[in-house]
Structure 1
Amino acid sequence: MSEKNPQLNLGTEPVKNLIYKLGVPIMIGMVFTALDNIGDALFVSGLGVSQLSAILICAPLGQAIVALGLLFGNGAGAYIPRLLGSKDMDRANKVASTALYGSLLLGMIAAVLISINLEAILRALGGSNENISFAITYARVYVPSLLLNIFIVTMNSLSSSEGRAKLVMVVNILTAILNFILNPLCIYTFKMGIVGAAYATVIAQGLATLVLLFNIMLKKSVFNFKISNISFNKEILSPVFKIGVSTLIFQLLTSMATWFTNRQAARFGEPTIAALGTTMRIFSIGTLLVYGFSKGFQAIAGFNFGAKKIDRVRESVHLAIKNTTIFCFAFSVACAVFTKNIISIFADNNQEVITIGIQAILIQSFSFVFFGFYTIYSPLLLSVGKVKEGFILGLCRQGTCLIPMLFILPNMFGRTGIVIAQPVADILSVLITFIFVRITSNFLKETENKIQADGDSCNYPLSKND
């Protein structure tokens, strides 16, 4: 693939080997990212339900700001493998540099605006008189630290796009382990309380950022992250934003869904917020693992599409769906069997939290079995340039399917309606995916026919979608 990255050749090495070499390290890294996400909740829960609900209502802030990193990072991450496959390094360098610096600039602007209007925003996100002071204390440190998170997210996407899955894994593992060590120290040993959780995150992500900076300075990447490479012309930004905007909207809808879930749950008290927020974080372990695997898959599919090797694209799809489905089944069974044990870790002996949490985990365990099948097709469509289709499918689970359910079902079934909203949205998303399976199959066949008819010189659909 590159002299700087000789260990992987995305165009010639057996696809089965590549799926595991790229997918598994990123999955392992995502395990630790998921643990990192629930680490704050785990340790803060010992302070009380008000403190736990306080950090849960701050979660949409993180999702919204990090979405800016995903706007550039995921857009560039899906586009760059095609450029590498077609050996266009000049444009790949421009895309990577523009993505990194652009995401940091937007993140800085967003963090300042949120900090100026912090209390009003937190109250809009579900803050109550009981938890608002805790939420403000936590967010004053947490929001500025999200710039570090944006840098990590963007760099991880760019590293994945060049096949450097092990670097992504190391960064995510380092961040999570440090956070798990520092959380109890800051919260309890140093008696910092809820703000200690925020400082633990800052330190952990700061050290992970240093690792990525050293990687750039030592020129381990195939990219040259030079300011002179930044380009805001249409040829660079258009393909990045076509993909990135869909990711941004998806992340904002996820943030909105989390906010609206908290708002609906607030009608039934803080134990409901705590139980549902904890359930979301538990299943974030599974979703992040699948997303991590799909990152490795996307690099393989995009590179081979750019290199006009459609048979390898199909093989990667088959293997990705098979492996993610097996994982989702195993994860769902584990959650269903150990439901009470899992929720009790976070409930601090609050029986109402345990009861609601058990119901939520059991129901979501059923629908999560199909998550891998749904998740593979959106990055596939984006990686082959079918941006509109990938955008529509990507919005289903947390947007067009979930948000209406959060409006409708609680009014029909009360608190149970909030509990079943995500599983119902999952099932609807899977049914919609079958439509896109057919679209993808026809597109790949059409592309393959054009390649065979016109040879290497053909201008097949990749160029039209760019």
Structure 2
Amino acid sequence: MNSNVDRVNMMESDDIGKVIWKFAIPGIIASLISAAYNIVDTAFVGFLNDTLAMGAVSVVFPLFILINAIGQMIGVGSSSYIARLLGAKDKEEADKVASTAIISAIVLGGVFTILILIFLEPLLKLLGATDSIMPYALEYAKPIAIGASLPILIPTMANIVRSEGNIKVSANVVAISAVINIILDPIFMFGLDMGVAGAAVATVLSQCVSVAILLIYFISKKGYLKVSISNFRFSKDIYKQILSVGFSTFLTQGLISISMGLLNIAAKPYGEALIAALGISLKLSSLVIFVVLGYNQGFQPIASYNYGAKNYGKLRQSIKISIKRTTIFSTLATIVLMVFAPSAIHLFSNDPEVINIGVKTLRTTILMYPLLGFTQMYAALYQSLGMPKQALLVGTSRQGLFFVPIVFILPSIIGMEGVLLTQPIADLLTVMVTAVFAYKTNKILKDKECDDENGYTINELSEI
């Protein structure tokens, strides 16, 4: 237990840059492994040498994102609240929140498994499946649907583990799951001749391992938080706190799913090759996103804790350091993907049409990625501080507020180029919105740091 207390106390350290690295590195490693799994998984599907199978993966992926969004809603919302409670030294309430969140995730997981299985085919049509792709999409989606409760439970428990400062356990779960998935892919796809369905079965089995590890962690009481049925509370206040922050995450993730579906629909008139290319580009560009999100996993509990403890100077310092680090990474990663785009696309397909379209798609998609760290860091910050309005607006701008109208309008005006340009234009507008909020937030935090008694109250941050 002492090591858990030490992790909590570490968040008050003066060397905030070093502490963020200690918290972030396991998350970054886990995210890199997870991104690598996504790429390897897609590459294995590419070995089937079937553009329709690749298109099926592209169509089903938004459904997986949508399922995961439920878990992220509960996990991010509860972890933000828990970290703030720990910063305020209220462990008893933090135990109740953790228990309530996990039990609620188990119940919701069962409900969504049933719903998705009932409405699977209509969902796939909404996500852009063509008549040619649909048989492959159903084959791939059915195992994912059966295991739909798993990607709800995993992010819920993993985020709660992070909230108590135990980033390593959370990261190890992701890493172990990804490695198992990579091992099982060729066994089920080629050894057992299950094709694209084998990739889905491998994913579900690896997720079962993740859930088992996390449940053992809580049941064996290895963590700082005490999770038990007796701590469960059907409390309006707890759910309100979870949803006030978590709903913006759900909406953000849900809009990613919707935007990917809309992009697939917009790509339909230009053939299955473009749908496949969009899926490949998404997996490759996710390398950048996953690392930034992995870093933010380390940043968030520190931000929440210092905000709850009213250590505004450390909070401002952690923001500056994190923006600098994520921007440097995002810029370097964008340059690498731009230069090696042809080789990267070729890893997933031998179809000349897919390769040609894929190179252009990837390079266009990542045009604004050097500023991805800036926008994602502030989205994470507002979640951490329990500021739902700001988290909602900044978090939903990229894939919702700007993306949705652009994807409806631009392709109808300039055709396929409009499909490709939708994301970078939405990214540019998101940067502008984030900059406005960032300026106001930093001004309030600076005033608060200079004069804690006469400056702003915590609630006044929510008014920016």
Both structures adopt the same fold (TM-score exceeding 0.5): yes
Partner Cα distance (2:415, 2:338) in 1: 23
Which runs of no fewer than 5 residues in structure 2 stay unpaired?
none
Identical-pair percentage: 34
Partner Cα distance (1:147, 1:13) in 2: 41
Partner Cα distance (1:27, 1:3) in 2: 22
Aligned residues of 1:447 and 1:460 also touching (Cα < 8 A): no
Partner Cα distance (2:260, 2:462) in 1: 36
* Equivalent position of 1:414 in the other structure: 415
Partner Cα distance (1:104, 1:251) in 2: 20
* Equivalent position of 1:424 in the other structure: 425
Partner Cα distance (1:396, 1:102) in 2: 28
Partner Cα distance (2:75, 2:313) in 1: 27
Secondary structure at the aligned position of 2:305 is classed as: helix
Aligned residues of 1:107 and 1:147 also touching (Cα < 8 A): yes
* Equivalent position of 2:106 in the other structure: 104
Partner Cα distance (1:251, 1:303) in 2: 24
Partner Cα distance (1:407, 1:157) in 2: 35
Aligned residues of 1:50 and 1:131 also touching (Cα < 8 A): yes
Change (3 A) 1:214 1:233: closer
Partner Cα distance (2:238, 2:419) in 1: 42
* Equivalent position of 2:44 in the other structure: 43
Bigger mean CA offset, 358-367 vs 317-326: 358-367
Change (3 A) 1:267 1:464: closer
Q: Pairwise mapping of residues 368-379 of structure 1 onto structure 2 (< 5 A)?
A: 368-379=369-380
Partner Cα distance (1:124, 1:308) in 2: 46
Partner Cα distance (1:128, 1:401) in 2: 26
Cα shift at 1:352: 0.9
Deviations 1:290-314 (A, max 9, x none): 1111121111111011111100000
2:348 counterpart letter in structure 1: F
Is 2:4 the partner of 1:4? yes
* Equivalent position of 1:461 in the other structure: 459
1:245 counterpart letter in structure 2: F
1:60 counterpart letter in structure 2: P
CA RMSD for the aligned pairs?
1.9
Change (3 A) 1:110 1:382: same
* Equivalent position of 2:310 in the other structure: 308
Partner Cα distance (1:329, 1:419) in 2: 20
* Equivalent position of 1:330 in the other structure: 332
1:112 counterpart letter in structure 2: I
* Equivalent position of 2:210 in the other structure: 208
Cα shift at 1:337: 1.1
Aligned residues of 1:451 and 1:460 also touching (Cα < 8 A): no
* Equivalent position of 1:363 in the other structure: 364
Secondary structure at the aligned position of 1:245 is classed as: helix
Aligned residues of 1:65 and 1:111 also touching (Cα < 8 A): no
Partner Cα distance (2:58, 2:329) in 1: 27
Aligned residues of 1:45 and 1:52 also touching (Cα < 8 A): yes
Partner Cα distance (2:437, 2:140) in 1: 42
Cα shift at 1:446: 4.6
Partner Cα distance (1:7, 1:255) in 2: 35
* Equivalent position of 2:78 in the other structure: 76
Secondary structure at the aligned position of 1:395 is classed as: helix
1:430 counterpart letter in structure 2: V
Change (3 A) 1:146 1:261: same
Deviations 1:225-267 (A, max 9, x none): 2112122322212111100111111111111001001111111
* Equivalent position of 1:395 in the other structure: 396
1:339 counterpart letter in structure 2: A
Aligned residues of 2:278 and 2:358 also touching (Cα < 8 A): yes
Change (3 A) 1:423 1:350: same
Partner Cα distance (1:385, 1:203) in 2: 34
Aligned residues of 1:266 and 1:273 also touching (Cα < 8 A): yes
Partner Cα distance (2:118, 2:381) in 1: 39
Partner Cα distance (1:446, 1:243) in 2: 24
Aligned residues of 1:306 and 1:462 also touching (Cα < 8 A): no
* Equivalent position of 1:186 in the other structure: 188
TM, length-normalised to structure 2: 0.95
* Equivalent position of 2:69 in the other structure: 67
TM, length-normalised to structure 1: 0.95
1:345 counterpart letter in structure 2: L
Partner Cα distance (1:184, 1:13) in 2: 48
Q: Pairwise mapping of residues 273-312 of structure 1 onto structure 2 (< 5 A)?
A: 273-312=275-314
Partner Cα distance (1:33, 1:5) in 2: 29
2:195 counterpart letter in structure 1: G
Pick from 342, 362, 379 the counterpart of residue 344 of structure 2: 342
1:19 counterpart letter in structure 2: I
Pick from 144, 154, 158 the counterpart of residue 156 of structure 2: 154
Partner Cα distance (1:372, 1:441) in 2: 17
Which runs of no fewer than 5 residues in structure 1 stay unpaired?
none
Change (3 A) 1:354 1:408: same
1:426 counterpart letter in structure 2: D
Cα shift at 1:11: 1.1
Secondary structure at the aligned position of 2:418 is classed as: helix
Partner Cα distance (2:208, 2:109) in 1: 16
* Equivalent position of 1:114 in the other structure: 116
Deviations 1:314-335 (A, max 9, x none): 0100110010001101110110
Cα shift at 1:150: 1.6
Change (3 A) 1:448 1:343: same
* Equivalent position of 2:355 in the other structure: 354
* Equivalent position of 1:53 in the other structure: 55
Cα shift at 1:118: 1.6
